Structure 1
């Protein structure tokens, strides 16, 4: 089966050249023209590699890259006209695996893609993410079946509550702002009302019987956001 690539690029001329080149190499390429469209595409299918332009409408490439990295270890190649070392470092710091500065040769593009896919194949062959997580204080989550249990009893979470818990639990001790949670879970570029996140976190805590003042799972970091502090078994 051909490897699945996601290309997120708003410049139609550049995107067509990249897409056609990679398709000639035998890859299947999905092309998105905005950051938000790319994020929606990524959530709806399985990809082996993502190419992301830095400057994108609706959701910029840095934010998109960050959202993808919170969800997956899939290889990400950042594409940008920015050539400063500081820009490259920023892209790599938020989770990109490689950085291609425009203009680049198609030979270099093909080599970088092939290199990252080799790494990805090795990674998948060596370590598969566990479908189930078991935490102290009676919490168990089956991420594949989207089921959560507390002391053996299933907890009836909504889709958004489950996605919030999954994001927080998969990135333990990382503080997420309300805006970051909103962008990732609600798939919107900007938070419309921070109260939306607050209400869902409150409901999630109540269902997990997790007191705000002495939490076992979700901790409020005042002035910053929330983080997951559950201890794995």
Structure 2
């Protein structure tokens, strides 16, 4: 089986045509019918490209694209019936690498997919994420094993704590609101109860010996949220 593609499309007829076309090209295709299903598939699978329809139930394509981009640099092609330049710009600004307006030809679909996969192969060969990152202050994060060390001693983070640290550390200097963190890590809409995030951030800080007033790693941006300020060594 060739490269793996995640297709998130709620129109069954369109999805069937896309799926059949891509499989004929030798790609493996996983099909999801809702945005939330697509996000779950992405989190638990390994994909080389994602095709996302803009209008989806449960989670729209813009939100799904934003979530995927926070977690990965995998190429994303946004599919939409919207043809205005402003819509294309919004899709690309959200993190999509290409924009395919409906109706599109299968020839164009195959060409766009092949082009993005070529770039992805080059990127993987040149810019693959390091297995571990070292920061000033003695922090080391081993991404694949989900292991965290502080001055060469293991830091026993829970899975949710590691996901929070990972999201912040892989998006340095970006400010995340508590609602953003809750939706991304807990995979549930923010209903105004973000106390869970506060508790987990406090726990991570304590385990990393990271003081609130003079932080080395996680900084509070008052009135906005949190950001990672650790400096790579």
Contact 1:80-1:102 at 8 Å conserved across structures: yes
1:97 and 1:63 map into 2 onto residues whose CA distance is 15
Aligned positions of 1:13-28 closer than 5 A = 13-28=13-28
Q: CA deviation at 1:213?
A: 1.5
- Does the alignment pair 1:74 with 2:69? no
For 1:1-33, what per-residue CA distance to the aligned partner results, in whole angstroms no more than 9, with x for missing partners? 411000011111111111111111111100011
TM-score (norm 1): 0.97
Partner residue in 2 for 1:130: 130
| Pairwise CA distance, 1:163 | 0.6
Displacement of 1:181 after TM fit? 1.2
Q: Deviations over 1:21-52 (max 9, x none)?
A: 11111111000111111111001111010000
Query: What is the match of residue 210 of structure 1?
Result: 210
Looking at structure 1, the residues matched to 86 and 182 of structure 2 have their Cα atoms a distance apart, in angstroms, of 28
Q: CA deviation at 1:127?
A: 2.3
TM-score (norm 2): 0.97
Q: Displaced runs of 4+ in structure 1, greater than 6 A?
A: none
Number of aligned pairs? 232
Q: After TM superposition, list the pairs within 5 Å mapping 1:96-115 onto structure 2.
A: 96-115=96-115
Cross-structure match for 1:50: 50
1:231, CA displacement in angstroms? 0.8
CA distance in 2, matches of 1:8, 1:24: 18
**Structure 2 CA distance for aligned equivalents of residues 36 and 43 of structure 1:** 11
* Alignment-derived partner of residue 176 in structure 2: 176
Can you give the 5+ residue segments of structure 1 that lack an aligned partner in the other structure?
none
SS class of match (2:226) = strand
The equivalent residue for 1:191 is 190
Q: CA RMSD in A?
A: 1.0
- 5+ residue gaps, structure 2, are none
**Rounded Cα–Cα distance in structure 2 between residues aligned with 1:120 and 1:23:** 19
Rounded to whole Å, the distance in 1 between the matches of 2:215 and 2:46 is 34
